[in-house]
Amino acid sequence: SFIGEESVAAGEGSVLTDNPTWIIDPIDGTTNFVHRFPFVAVSIGFVVNKKIEFGIVYSCVEDKMYTARKGKGAFCNGQKLQVSGQEDITKSLLVTELGSNRDPEAIKIILSNMERLLSIPIHG
């Protein structure tokens, strides 16, 4: 099976089943793309029994290929990635994205979440 982000965004229905399924977003970061902001990628995932098996993200502008496989780790251009060992949240950097939904109820939830995040004593 195939699930395409662009077709789902256009209103086509999609159901994730236990069948092997490719999930594809050919322009991941569409809003960035439209505004010529350089963070755009092609994202592909493969799911079996509703569980991700592997994923590939190609960051076009940076010419970086990110790959990950269940139980095998994640890589960037073939080099293994790892999370930092930082355990002190006051020395951590928090990154978030607000999304594009401007429904009043969604905005309330987003702002509530942001308020909770901003109260954490993070580095930045």
Is 110 annotated as a binding-site member?
Answer: no
Instruction: End-to-end CA distance of the chain: give it in Å, rounded.
Output: 41
Is 88 annotated as a binding-site member?
Answer: no
- Residue 86: both structure tokens together: 């930082």
Q: Which residues are annotated as a binding site?
A: 5, 25, 27-28
Q: Which residues are annotated as a binding site for Mg(2+)?
A: 5, 25, 27-28
